[in-house]
Chain A
Amino acid sequence: MVYFIGNVLPYITVAIFLGGLAWHLWRWTAPRIPHFVALSPFPKTWAGSVGFIVWQILVFWNILKFDRRLWVGAWPFHVAIGAILGGHVLGIYTLGTQFHMIFPYAITEALSESMSVILGKTFGIIFVAAGAYLLYRRFAYDRVAAVSAPSDYLHMFLLLAIGGLGVYMRFVPAASLHYEEARHFLAGLFLFKPEPLPDNPFFLLHFLLVQILMIIFPFSKLMHPLGMLWNRWVVNRPYEEPAMGLPGVQLVPPAGVMYEDSGRTIRVEHWPRFPVKGV
């Protein structure tokens, strides 16, 4: 069983994960965008569009603007996920010396490793706390509970279990796993020369739950980071407006008029383009 979880299942998991991902992205990309169905704000250029989307991704702007009580859970939660994923890749690959590699003269290898441990603990706690808060929110708000399916709770339980085990292994020395052991095992998987799982039940469970997460990922709402990109590609795009000014009209616009509004005066040099923004 341990052999299956450690040395066979990972290949099945990755195949389902990548295959499911590819299939879903195809499924999302194949339908057409027959009409221009963009929403506000209406950027003038593609750079503006991309900037807006990046801004939304980085600060969760809409959540911040419209629901602070959701933002205090959602934003730290996702930042922690980003940090933890990055930490796993870098920390395990460089054996905790990632900060030393980035700033070789300022940070020693030992300092880097302890930084890695402290950051891991911090983000782990943020992840679990914010996740628990989001889960509580789903239970506590009857309006949110009314639209939640069992899977909405189960996803969060799964994430919390993974995160909770990670934090536990970080904090309890007896349960912890060294970078070397983890790297040895993972390298074996990546190089198709599977090594046995480290003898640590917490790691076994952590690793198994992550695999379950990866298997359901493409077939669940966990796809939402990608869904957001695909969706915003449809609704946040620039639009070329027709020029203003009516044909065959007897009035001729004077050049460089001074226009005053709300106590400010501006000089209008050209026939304005839509939307008329001067003030």
Chain B
Amino acid sequence: MGHHGPTPEGFRRIPTWEVAKQPAERPKKPATPKTATKKTLHELGIVEVPDEHKVQAALERLHEQIKQRRSYMLAMESCVKCGLCQENCHTFLGTRDPDDSPVGRADLIRKVWKRYFTVQGRLFGKLVGAEDLTLETIQKWLAYFYHCTECRRCGHVCPFGIDTCEITMLGRQVLYWLGVVPALHADSCAAIHRLGNNMALTKSGAVDTLEFLSDEIEEERGFRVEFPVDKPDSDIVYVPSSADFMLNPDTLKGAALFFEYIGANWTITSRMIEAGNFGYLVDQYRTQRELVTRLLESAKQLGAKKIVWGECGHGWRAAKQYARTMADVNGIWHIPIVHIHDEIASYIVTNQLELDPSRITRPVTLHDPCNYARACGHVENMRIIIRKCVSEFREMYPNGERNFCCGGGSGVLFDDPEMYPMRIRFSQKKAEQIRETGVPDGPDGGILCAPCSICKAQFYPMVEEHELNVEVKGLLDLVGKALVFRGKETSGGKKW
């Protein structure tokens, strides 16, 4: 299996069209993420099920889950294995491993479902593709369900609309209950329960960072923008991604500049400095519910009339489409949740923002985060914004709902030696797309706009590995840069 793991010349330079010539084969041992320690699991309130009980426990959980959710049940029983999804999946394009394609991945559970819970599987077994559940299969679940980035491109292309992401979620949920969780996800979830966000940021830490950002804006633009935290009687609660405090400060600044421009009475709530939702990715029953409940509670406490979401792809889906039905709060506590991009776009089309595109002169291309484009119908608004903010905008094809994932979606941001090469390999297709735009070719390179925290976290190392001369930015970064504060600012700052 030469194409698994780093090759002598490095794993980064195997174009997908070269990979496509290799036979589709299963590797002997798929790359598997490092699992969480007992201590972390203990913090989450789970204990790993002993090996001798794992199979039985997994079957019970599977049955209980599938028979209560229609999306799971239909995904189990209506696939015809046409193979259409395979070459539309960036993990398959990167590895040629049939189990790394949506249909193969879903089959890891589908075969088990067939074997134990369908008439044909119980009668005919292998003939209809049914298989006993074994510990090896559970180990495969751990590998392949954490290769899936839940980008839903398979759901988008499937003729029947089978959303394999739902199967990944089911697999991850069952694994979570078995106590088999990657360290990255378990640590993030534990941090959410301990401190309220993935990055284990405390309130004092957040306030410090925000003050520092205020200083930076003042230095650059010549006026001060405050970041209110836990301000009572605020009209708007803004939910930034916790990664913005450390990795993407320009995104936070952009949001603050926008709110300052429109004169909003806004605040950040220290209980919810997390637009992401790792619970959505591994444990919808406890962690995701905890976060959406906490969101509505804290917004209510501050008197907010609207919740405005920051740049986070999966978190936006987790809040927009799950908060209503999942949060454990009184129904009258539900307040509208909107995305900041939608709001900015509607201020732009009503000509209420003055934006100066000449401040961003390098060519810009936009990566559509999967959860925006395919899961939330969030495509056109980003273009309305970007066209007004930058001098030169180039589309990256395929775009919109047909885009490819960055390769790090759903928290597949593993750093361990086994998974890191996979993660870069999954982004091979993306690298080719970016290269085709010609944006990295300029003398100063270009800007890759990736308005999602996980995309950004994936792109920071990925553009290095694939040798792309682009700077990774969020969309709010560009808005903040382009907004013209007449009579207030002394300069627009350094040109991008």
Contacts and interface: CB of A to CB of B under 8 A. Distances in A.
Chains A and B belong together in one complex: yes
A261 interface: yes
A40 B73 contact: no
B384 interface: yes
Interface in B331-351: 336-338, 342-343, 345-351
B26 A146 contact: yes
A63 B159 contact: yes
Contacts of B387: 261-262
A274 interface: yes
Contact of B74 (A70, A219, A230, A250): A230
Candidate in A62, A262, A276 with the most chain B CB atoms within 10 angstroms: A276
B210 interface: no
Interface in B61-80: 66-75, 77-80
A192 interface: no
A253 B161 CA distance: 40
B279 to A, nearest CB: 13
Interface stretch (A85-93, A171-179, A239-247): A239-247
A223 interface: yes
Interface string A188-230: 0000000000000000000000000000100111011011101
Interface string B151-186: 010011111111100100000000000000000000
A152 B130 CA distance: 12
A74 B160 CA distance: 13
A28 interface: yes
Interface in A251-279: 251, 253-254, 257-259, 261-262, 268, 271-272, 274-279
A234 interface: yes
A248 B236 contact: yes
Contact of A62 (B23, B72, B157, B235): B157
A32 B73 CA distance: 10
A231 B162 contact: yes
Given A246-B308, A247-B235, A276-B381, A143 B83 contact: yes
Interface in A146-184: 146-152, 154
B129 interface: yes
Interface stretch (B39-47, B317-325, B441-449, B466-474): B317-325
A246 B262 contact: yes
A11 interface: no
Contacts of B384: 261, 276, 278-279
Contact of A33 (B70, B126, B162): B70
A234 B70 contact: yes
Contact of A141 (B83, B166, B380): B83
A109 B375 CA distance: 55
A246 B325 contact: no
Contacts of B325: 34-36
B373 interface: yes
A65 B325 CA distance: 34
Interface string B18-59: 000001111000000000000000000000000000000000
Interface in B291-323: 305-306, 308, 321-322
B127 interface: yes
B264 interface: yes
Interface residues of A, number: 80
A262 B25 CA distance: 47
Nearest to B340: A246
Contacts of A258: 351
Nearest to A145: B24
Interface string A45-89: 000000000001000101101110010001000000000000000
B426 to A, nearest CB: 17
A183 B176 CA distance: 59
Candidate in A65, A66, A223 with the most chain B CB atoms within 10 angstroms: A66
Contact of A31 (B69, B80, B265, B342): B69
B110 to A, nearest CB: 10
Contacts of B159: 56, 60, 62-63, 228
A106 interface: no
Candidate in A28, A147, A227, A239 with the most chain B CB atoms within 10 angstroms: A147
Nearest to B318: A35
Nearest to B69: A31
Nearest to B74: A231
Contact of B23 (A142, A243, A275): A142
A39 interface: yes
A42 B23 CA distance: 37
A71 to B, nearest CB: 9
A50 to B, nearest CB: 14
A70 B71 contact: no
B265 A227 contact: no
Interface string B438-462: 0000000000000000000000000
Interface stretch (B6-14, B97-105, B413-421): B97-105
Contacts of A245: 343, 346
Interface stretch (B117-125, B215-223, B476-484, B485-493): B117-125
B350 A28 contact: no
Contacts of A27: 73
A1 interface: no
Nearest to B126: A150
Candidate in B81, B124, B127, B381 with the most chain A CB atoms within 10 angstroms: B81
B236 A244 contact: no
Given A141-B83, A275-B380, A40 B375 contact: yes
Given A147-B101, A227-B78, 13 more contacts: A31-B67, A31-B68, A33-B71, A40-B377, A63-B84, A143-B87, A150-B127, A220-B120, A242-B306, A244-B338, A246-B343, A248-B264, A278-B384
20 contacts: A31-B69, A33-B69, A38-B321, A40-B375, A142-B23, A143-B86, A146-B104, A147-B104, A149-B127, A152-B80, A228-B159, A234-B70, A235-B161, A244-B346, A246-B262, A247-B236, A254-B352, A257-B349, A261-B387, A271-B350
Q: Closest 5 interchain pairs by CB?
A: A227-B78, A149-B129, A250-B263, A248-B235, A42-B377
